Amino acid sequence: VHMKNLLHLGEDRYLTTLLFKHFPLFKTQFIRDAHAYTVAPDDWKVLLSQRRRWINSTAHNLRELIFLEQLCGFCCFSMCFIVMIDLVSTLMQPVAVAYMAYLIGLVAGGGKSIPALSLITIAAIYGIQALAFTMRRKWDMIGWMLFYTPAIPAFSSFLPVYSLWRMDDFSWGQTRVVLGESGKKTIAHDEGKLDPRSIPLK
């Protein structure tokens, strides 16, 4: 299941991991001028399928990155530690959302004592982001933040749980629909089983 998530759902991410692993002297950098085009999901079913593939392939790729010795830094200041935190946070998102719902219930009910530290932390996280967007005059980001915040339960709770539950689902849904020669819509199938020995590592 692990290798199939890497090679069938997240081969583009795993390619970078393989570069780090087998060619540590190569330089990998971000090219700002590069452009990539995609077709955004236009309904919930396609979005659900896309996020399932992304979350599963990301989690499995982060698992591979943890064991790379070539990552820079040491102890808690290493990239390995950051990757581990990223992986754990992906798995802990549903719990964090449930805790936020609990805090909102406490504030709304007003019956019990409110954990001030938790509320201050949450307010600081979103307040610093809003302040950064305001100082840089990124008004569109503030607008999108207003849309994203109510969607947190779906994107940070439901989708990770759904994706991890369906980790053995390797289908691409409707995103690989192509037009055949006769004009009929068909789903492109995978090319078969990959033999890892066919990849040159030197």
Mean pLDDT within 99-122:
78
Name the percent of the chain lying above pLDDT 90.
Answer: 0
Average pLDDT, rounded, for the chain: 78
| Residues in Cβ contact with 26 at an 8 Å cutoff, skipping those fewer than 6 apart | 19
**Three-class SS state of 43:** coil
Whole-number Å distance between alpha carbons of 25 and 165:
38
Q: How many domains does the chain have?
A: 1
Whole-number Å distance between alpha carbons of 137 and 50:
31
49-65: pLDDT as tens digits: 888 888 888 888 888 88
* First and final C-alpha spacing in the chain: 27
Whole-number Å distance between alpha carbons of 62 and 83:
6
At 49 the pLDDT is 85
At 187 the pLDDT is 55
Domain membership of residue 165 as a residue range? 2-29+38-198
Residues in the chain: 202
Report CA torsion sign: 26, 28, 33, 36: positive
Find the range with the poorest average confidence among 76-80, 143-147, 152-156.
76-80
pTM, rounded to two decimals: 0.68
Confidence of residue 194 (pLDDT cuts 50, 70, 90): low
Flag whether pLDDT at 178 surpasses 60: no
Flag whether pLDDT at 109 surpasses 80: no
**DSSP, residue by residue, 48-75:** HHHHHHHHHHHHHHHHHHHT-TT--S-G
At 121 the pLDDT is 84
118-133: pLDDT as tens digits: 778 888 888 888 888 8
Flag whether pLDDT at 77 surpasses 60: yes
Mean pLDDT within 14-31:
82
Higher pLDDT, 10 or 62: 62
**Three-class SS state of 187:** strand
Mean pLDDT within 70-94:
79
Flag whether pLDDT at 180 surpasses 70: no
30-40: pLDDT as tens digits: 888 888 887 78
Whole-number Å distance between alpha carbons of 77 and 89:
17
Nearest to 50 by CA among 173, 160, 164: 173
Whole-number Å distance between alpha carbons of 196 and 5:
14
